Structures are given as structure tokens and as C-alpha cells.
Structure 1
Amino acid sequence: MTGRAEYPLISVCIANFNGMDIIDDCLRSVQNQIDTQPFEIIVHDDASTDGSAEYIRIHYPDVVLLQSLENAGFCVSNNRMVAQARGKYILLLNNDATLFPDALLTLHAYAETQSSGCILSLPQYDAATGNLIDIGSLSDPFLNPIPNMDAKRGDVAMVSGACLWITKVLWEKLGGFPEWFHTLAEDAYLCFRARVEGYSVQALGSSGFRHWVGKSLGGGKVTAQNRLATSHKRRALTERNKSFVMALTYPAPLFQLVFPLHLVLLLAEGLILALIKREWRVFREIYLACFMALWLERGRILRLRREIQSRKKIGPRLFMSVLKLPPHKLRMLLRHGVPQLE
């Protein structure tokens, strides 16, 4: 199929920003799906400056192309695409990801067996090495994802927004991505909110997708020297948005126990990292910025927290069933040392 069915059952939504060197592989992987239901491809171009939007328009005329005049961020891009989508099912797909040929077939077949809404994904493989990255993720209590490698587990804490399947009805019930997040941890928000409201989050054990991790924002991966590398921007957005997700979704009394400890550990981490690197910028741009954002957004956070918690369908025990100890940052520190900040 080329990407524009008359009556699509599935809408594949791809957020693009300066993806000229990767968009061909992404789009072709969707077009080359086998034995799948009718689907459409929607691309939101987030004010690219590399000509990729015009390239898509010329070379993929069956793709529905939405163009933004200014860079709106990943959350806004996906919200706009889903609003335009005609399919019952939505697949959010990164422009730096490619699907296995049976990905849509696998996701659709499983989704049809579910009587209530759910969020699904597939095994994620490193596009550079071919190694398995995860089959969804568990989490430590501080919302640091722990890769799940058990293909039979099923229920997980979260799945990657690089390949996230959901019905349009459930997306609308959950309110989509919070646009004030801009980018990063929006997938954690959607998954944790879904779980709080009684919907399952599952990673299937078959098929899969390949992902150039960190292609868009830089970092977020282990280097050839066995060091964890990330960028200031990525780390700042991650710490801020993870804190937002905890404040919004953690039920009482877990929230009252974990969130203050999270803030104390975050403060200590920032000070220690700044001292080790002898760079005040690390504390100011990542950790202090996180505390300031929590304060400035306190009104919005409180209002949305009340809304989410009023719809709560699970208790703390079930919520905690996908949370694991020890803290994943400690594991990564012992394994890879102090992270490189670029």
C-alpha cells in the first residue's frame, strides 16, 4: 500500500523534523507492510529547514502532509496528526524508526483480541547494531525506565513513543500528549495515566521496530567506550518532564512518600554532578530549571492531577507492580560511570 487508503482502519502518524537522511527508510517500512488492514500515513513536519517537507510532498504524494510554520514540538505534532487521523487505530512512529514488515499485522491482530482499550508496542532494536534494546520498560520508583527483556511478560510500565499503538477513542479519553511537555517523557505520561485509569500497557513479544536512538535530540545511549552519553537539552527535558509525570499520576500515598524523596535526590544529584564536572551550568540548566518549572507550573499540575486521580481505577499495589528496585540511575552509574553531557 502507498499510504492513503480510502477508508483506513489504521493511521500511522510520523512526526518529522529535519529528517531528510532518515525519512525514506521510515516511510518505506510502513508502505511495505504485509497482509495489513487499510492504512493511511500522516506526517507532521515541524518547521524543518533541510527540505524534508518538500521532499515528502514530491516523492510521497499519497502521504497526508501537515506543515507547521514554527517548531511546535513532538507533543503538538502528534496531537495535530491524531486530530486529523481517520483510523480506528493510531500508530505513533518516530521518523528515526523503521517497522518490521509484519508490525502492523501483529499489532492489529492483538488489538482485536482486547475488549477494552490498551496501549501497545513491539520489541525495540538498535538500528545501528541490531541489538534488542527493550520489549517495553518497567520503571524504578523515580520514573527511570528499566528495559524489559522478557518477551512473555506482557504488561509493562511504559512503551516508547517511537512506536506506540493506541485506539483513537482511548487517545481522546486520555487527552493525548500534554503540549506543555514539548518533547520527551510524553510517552511515560500517556502510559502511566492509562494505567491509573484502568487501561493496560503491553509490549508484544513478536515482530519489532528498529530505532536510531537519540537521533533527534542527541544522546540517550551508551557509547562505544561504555559511557552513557546525553545532551544538556535532553537531560533537562527528561528530568523536568519525569517530575511532571510523577506529580500528575502517582496515587496517594505513594506520591506523598516518593515525590519528596525524588526532589531531595534530584537536588543532591545536580550539586554532585556540577561539582564533579566543575560546571555550574549543569546544575542551573538541568536541575534548577526543573525545580523552577515545577513551581511555575504548580497550578496546572494541581488541576490536572485532580482530574487524573478522580478517574483512578487501580490501587497503589497494582500501580507499583511494574516498579522495581534498586534505582536505575544507581545501576547505570555503577555500570557506565558519570554520564557524558554534550
Structure 2
Amino acid sequence: MASTDPAFHRELEAIRLLSVQVLRNLERTAAEVRSAQARQQPVSSAVLETMLSDPAITAIRRHGEELSTLQRKLDDQRDTLKRKENQALRTGFAFWLSGLALGWLVGLLFAWRTSDRILKPLLQLEQLMKTPGEDVNTALQSSTIKNAPMEIGSLMRSFLKLVTEGQELTAQLKSLASTDGLTAVGNRRSFDEGLSEEWRRGLRSGQPLSLLLLDVDHFKLYNDLYGHVQGDACLRTVADVIRSQARRSSDLVCRIGGEEFAVLLPETPLAEATKLAHDILAALDAMALVHGSSPVVGWVTASIGVACAIPQRDESASLLMERADQALYVRKGRLGRHGVTVAEPSADVSVELKTEDAQDSSVPLR
């Protein structure tokens, strides 16, 4: 730093010039001393005093002091600069640490916000995907989804649409799997599942379970005469008539064969089931669908077998089906069509049957 300070250089230049002057004065004094010695004369004290009192020497001393002062100042400045440099390094390191800590805090904040606004909605979406039966609409109204970024909300709405369409499609498939495509009543699968379920329910409740089996009389002759298209229309009409009489939400109407229908009546005693069977026959007679090939009457008629049981743990649901089917068989085979035959409550399907035709006549069977 001293080499670049102008005052320091000025003092050095002054000392150099004064040193030259002192050197010249010393040379003159030395010449005078040698001359006095050559003459073998003592050296005059004035010469020595003149040399010692040379102003240049005094000036050199003063400039030397100035130079020393400047050097101390420069040293002080260098020490001050060094301290500032160290302080700057410490300050810079502190700033670096502060920046690092701030960056770490910002990272934590970002991670927390990311977790709160992105990860949580995504985890909720994953949970909904695993259990799509949950209420997706309710999930969309939660604060987790509402506070999520727009993209997450859009993804959730798309998922809601997908789930809704999937649920609708599942419902349609279930309906198709359990509905007869021609008559829109239940099919055989629906009947089998319903019979098993109601039998188990009856085991718990101890309530009676009744079953009607209905067969359209001489339907093959109807088809041969009018064709399959008209035959299909006839079956649809019969199904509508049955549904018009079995109106309870718990009543299950199914087509279980070509022209055979079943009506499952939970918590229904035998008397009520028998009355419903007669109501169905009466409603079908009232429709008066022309049947030109029927050997019974001139319109479409039906035969019905009725059975009732209180479910027992040592019995199966198939027993009820067998007894209703046996009653229908007796009606069609031994008693003539267009009537109602009732299987009296018993575990034995070969028990005495009570039969009633469309005019409510009744005779015991042996």
C-alpha cells in the first residue's frame, strides 16, 4: 500500500535529495579535513560544527519522522482494512448461512404447501379410486379439494364424471343381468337370488313367504296361430297384468321360463297369496286377449299354483318352489287349466291340494 501513497513517495524523494546534499557537504568537510592534515594543521572546530549543524541533516530527521508517521498511518490503515476484510468475510458467511437457512425454510414451506394442496388431494383421489362406492360429490366439497390447485380440481371433476358414468353403467349392467329383456320383469337369476334372500329373511323374522307360479294356458297354440311377434306382445301384456296386481315394493315378479312367471310375496300368508292369484286371473280375463286356438275359452287365460311356508332352518327354499310347482302341475294336468291350485302348508310336496277354478269353486284332491 505504501508504494501507491503520494505523500509517502514525496517524503522519500525529499529524504533522497537531502541525503545527496548532506553527502556533498560531508565530502567538502572531508576535503577540508584532509587539507588540514596535509598542512599538518589542526581541523577547525567551525568546520565540524558547520557539518553537525547542517540544515539538511535536520531536514532529513524531520522527513524521517514524517515518514515514520506515514508508515504508522499506513499500517493502521492496513490493520483497519484487514479487520474490515475479516468482518466482511464474517458478514458474508453470516449472510450465506442466513440465505441457506432461508432457503431451507422456503423449501419446508413449499413442501408443506405442496403436501397440503397437492399431495393430500392426490391421496384422497387415490382413496376414492380404491373405494369408488363412496360419495364423490361430498369429497369434492371438502376443503382439501377446494384448496387444491386448479389442475387437481379438474382431475377430481373428471374422476367424478368417470365414477358417475361407471356407476350408471354398473346399474344398467345389474339391471340387464337381473331383468327379462322381453317383459321388463325380473329374470330367472333375479328370482333365484330373491328367493334365497327372502328365505333367509324369513328365517330371522319368522314371517310366512308365499310363491305364485303362473303358466299361460296353451301358449304354444297362440304362437303357432299368431306368430312370435304377437306372442311376445302377449307375454308383455301378461307381465303387465301381474305387476298391476302385485303392487307392493317387496313383491317380486319374474319370468322364469318361456310362458311361465313367478311372483314372490314376502311376509304374506297363504290366504292373501291365494286372493292375489285370483285377482291376477280376473284381471287377465278382463283384458280378454283373443286366443282363437284355446280349447278353454276364447281369450288368453292362465293357471296358477300357490304355496306358502314359514322358513325353517332344516328346510331349504327349494321346497317352497317344489310345492308351488306341484300345485301348478296338478292344476294343468288333473284339474284343467284356467284356475288356481293351492298347496296346503306342509313339508311334503305330495300333500292334499286345494283347488279353485276361475269361478272360485273348490274341491279337495286325493
Q: TM-score, normalised on structure 1?
A: 0.22
Bigger fraction of residues in helix: 2
Structure of greater Rg: 2
* Structure (1/2) with the larger strand percentage: 1
- TM-score if structure 2 supplies the norm length? 0.21
Q: Which has the higher contact order (CA 8 A, sep 6+)?
A: 1
